[in-house]
Structure 1
């Protein structure tokens, strides 16, 4: 096959969205979200199964109605730095906000993880979904969509510029010449833009993969444009095959229109497989999982997240859905506005909206091992995705997927039997990013050589 399936693991501890009751499961330690050994165990299993990456999501605002995992969890870069010392080939992707972090700080932290891991770091660029995060950073209001995404684009550009502060041969460490650093290979950035002024240079050299891999997960127009411009990996929605195909075509086309190679934008569809001995058993387990988390009050409370942690509990459940569209403008706009529009068009009450949004929808990847593999293969070959970003409730579920599904994927030639290289870029099939200053110098040298040759004719 010309294409190879990619697999990533998205880690939760005691329960994220849709998993509010996971902390009650006796197989899950009550401190799983802050237990580094729990994360290391998952990462080692993912690496033994030859997964591409281990992905840590994040947010920086909570209230008491948020899922258990959100209430008490580790900071992603700190977490992955510890995981890095227990793994050798697995990519390590951390979420960090471009809205509430300075580019220099981001550049240094991710470059450090890249060095610690030997070239396996990735940055999932987010603009922050929770509007109330602003109050944790001294701002009265969350930035609007246009500002957040403009800032995100410029942040990535600045960070990439800082990652090129040193050329790859900047440190000869030549004792005889008393030359540790070649100063001609060190470059200040001197960036002055709409959102940032950053002088540079960064005080950290490039890793074996050149630069960390940029990931992004946006479904809005602004998010898709940002992904097409800068993302090398994308975490995409995957509620249905048709939805995934449409997203895949759209983002790849946007990247191509910008002069990028579409194959260098690796799309991971989110998936929560449920594997059973038979299809019937898997669907029974899937339904039991849903019923365990089917708490209306919890779902009502969490609905407010897309609207700036709005308290829907103050409304009559059987009255028309309240007009809260303005609250979505600075938060989860795409999801929030779609929800408001659908409620308005169909005349839904608040209760009906909650029930509709959270109704039982089994994962497409539910069934016996052969059935799950058939579905994965179909989605992959139907150009719906380049891979899956996998979420499992428990370590037992992860182990079962690794033991029962991965070997079948390998047998069909869909998935690797060994890592392609030691860096995340190599395993994702991404090119090595040549340092911009090295490239400029080599281009100038070639042009000078050509000009010299022409001058002697």
Structure 2
């Protein structure tokens, strides 16, 4: 018996105007995308036409900004929708695509978060996912009445507890609790309602949730991060992990590392999908693709480029640097910054990049893998990573929206399908079914099953 060919899982990672830092200036971009619902409707429907598993938006509980007033005035991502609200609207104009919304375990309330995502799962008929983040931004704590931003260890410790609480709240009602029998007048069985009564180090949550169990049991749990803490959180609770690597060797090492951590949590390798980011610049010829990339890079204002480097050189006045010389020094990664800093600073050190070259490298996708070429070239790269144990699929990061997503769906997806690497129809109606993930049993059903 031959082993079936593995197929890619694909998510569309959407930044309002695209992932390139100058995308909003491009003629193929929607400049007011962040608050343009028609733009997002078109993107979700395009991704669904391309048979993507899911669409994903990053989010932060504060304004995205690093740099001076000059660079701030040139940012195209300052204003944007709250993701759960956005996905609820888009679920009404789509049928199959899943929705991944970012929400913070540091700055959100677990009861309200559980209720929002359960509601989204019901509204979308089983297509919701939660991207669990601890929030690395250090300048948002004042929005929530905190005196300081918690350190990484504290944030991740709370995150483990937070995720467990949310899952417990989603299990408040048994799957069959609601009979809604009009003849008898009995709506539900109170014996199938469970109160969490959680008292932990960081959280105290009584429950139960005031909405029945979501169609997927639990919305899909997603996590993004490659630090030690991030990998442990993913191994313990995530069903998909978004990550950033630029070489096959690094991606394979990460894949083996994070999958190897699952067993100690009683989990199997197939219960966690590894989805690295890939930003594609697509041309019908290599020359056309390179010309598109050059056009994008030419739109970067130096102040915006330098702002991408601020997190790596905190407190430094980068405006005094010679853009066409290497940085005066390469620091150790700043304490508390996300793990991508290690990748970026090591690249600058290894390749002796100039300041301009370094910010141009970051411009496309903030350190994620940028692939420039024809649909065949891009499919070759994606196939190589899949077949060499570096991924289960990709989080596709279009550099310009809507243009780049249209190009990926129209040009790359057919090439992947021709090679048998991607579906030609959706397998199910829920996000879990399309991702090949099991529907989790309620924590209250397991003891009952064992007792029987």
Matched, 1:174 2:176: no
Equivalent residue for 1:356? 358
- Partners of 2:417 and 2:345 lie apart in 1 by 44
8 Å CA contact retained: 1:129, 1:306: no
Post-superposition offset of 1:245: 1.1
8 Å CA contact retained: 2:225, 2:338: no
| Alignment CA distance shift 1:34-1:262 (3 Å) | same
Post-superposition offset of 1:69: 4.0
| Alignment CA distance shift 1:333-1:11 (3 Å) | closer
Aligned 1:26-41 pairs, distance under 5 A:
26-41=27-42
- Partners of 1:306 and 1:202 lie apart in 2 by 42
| Alignment CA distance shift 1:337-1:359 (3 Å) | closer
206-215 vs 59-68, which deviates more? 59-68
Matched, 1:194 2:189: no
Post-superposition offset of 1:223: 0.6
8 Å CA contact retained: 1:364, 1:375: no
Secondary structure in 1 aligned to 2:140? helix
Equivalent residue for 1:334? 339
Equivalent residue for 2:388? 382
- Partners of 1:337 and 1:429 lie apart in 2 by 33
Equivalent residue for 1:449? none
- Partners of 2:17 and 2:120 lie apart in 1 by 25
| Alignment CA distance shift 1:281-1:423 (3 Å) | same
- Partners of 1:383 and 1:49 lie apart in 2 by 24
Equivalent residue for 1:102? 109
Matched, 1:52 2:57: no
Post-superposition offset of 1:274: 1.4
For the aligned residue pairs, the C-alpha RMSD in angstroms reads 2.5
Aligned 1:417-428 pairs, distance under 5 A:
417-428=424-435
Equivalent residue for 1:372? 378
Matched, 1:43 2:24: no
Deviations 1:386-413 (A, max 9, x none): 1111111132221122112111211211
Identify, as 1 or 2, the structure richer in helix.
Answer: 1
8 Å CA contact retained: 2:5, 2:421: no
261-270 vs 62-71, which deviates more? 62-71
Matched, 1:122 2:126: no
Post-superposition offset of 1:359: 3.8
| Alignment CA distance shift 1:359-1:92 (3 Å) | closer
266-275 vs 171-180, which deviates more? 171-180
1:141 equivalent among 138, 148, 159: 148
Secondary structure in 2 aligned to 1:272? strand
Secondary structure in 2 aligned to 1:166? coil
Deviations 1:399-453 (A, max 9, x none): 12211211121121111111110001000100111112122212212xxxxxxxx
| Alignment CA distance shift 1:357-1:219 (3 Å) | farther
Alignment: residue pair count: 434
8 Å CA contact retained: 2:98, 2:129: yes
Post-superposition offset of 1:383: 0.9
368-377 vs 42-51, which deviates more? 368-377
Aligned 1:114-263 pairs, distance under 5 A:
114-263=121-270
Equivalent residue for 1:20? 21
1:391 equivalent among 372, 397, 400: 397
8 Å CA contact retained: 1:167, 1:206: yes
- Partners of 1:94 and 1:117 lie apart in 2 by 13
Equivalent residue for 1:406? 413
Deviations 1:66-108 (A, max 9, x none): 5734311111111111111111110100011110001111101
8 Å CA contact retained: 2:122, 2:214: yes
Deviations 1:141-181 (A, max 9, x none): 21011100011111100000000000011111123332112
Secondary structure in 2 aligned to 1:173? strand
Secondary structure in 2 aligned to 1:214? strand
Post-superposition offset of 1:109: 0.7
Secondary structure in 1 aligned to 2:308? helix
Deviations 1:264-303 (A, max 9, x none): 101111011111111232123223322322x332122232
- Partners of 1:361 and 1:206 lie apart in 2 by 42
Instruction: Report the TM-score when normalising by structure 2.
Output: 0.89
Runs of 5+ in structure 2 lacking a partner? none
Equivalent residue for 1:5? 8
- Partners of 2:331 and 2:259 lie apart in 1 by 35
8 Å CA contact retained: 1:6, 1:388: yes
8 Å CA contact retained: 1:149, 1:226: yes
Matched, 1:301 2:307: yes
| Alignment CA distance shift 1:235-1:335 (3 Å) | closer
User: Relative contact order (alpha carbons < 8 A, sep ≥ 6): 1 or 2 greater?
Assistant: 2
8 Å CA contact retained: 1:306, 1:333: no
8 Å CA contact retained: 2:53, 2:431: yes
361-370 vs 278-287, which deviates more? 361-370
Secondary structure in 2 aligned to 1:415? coil
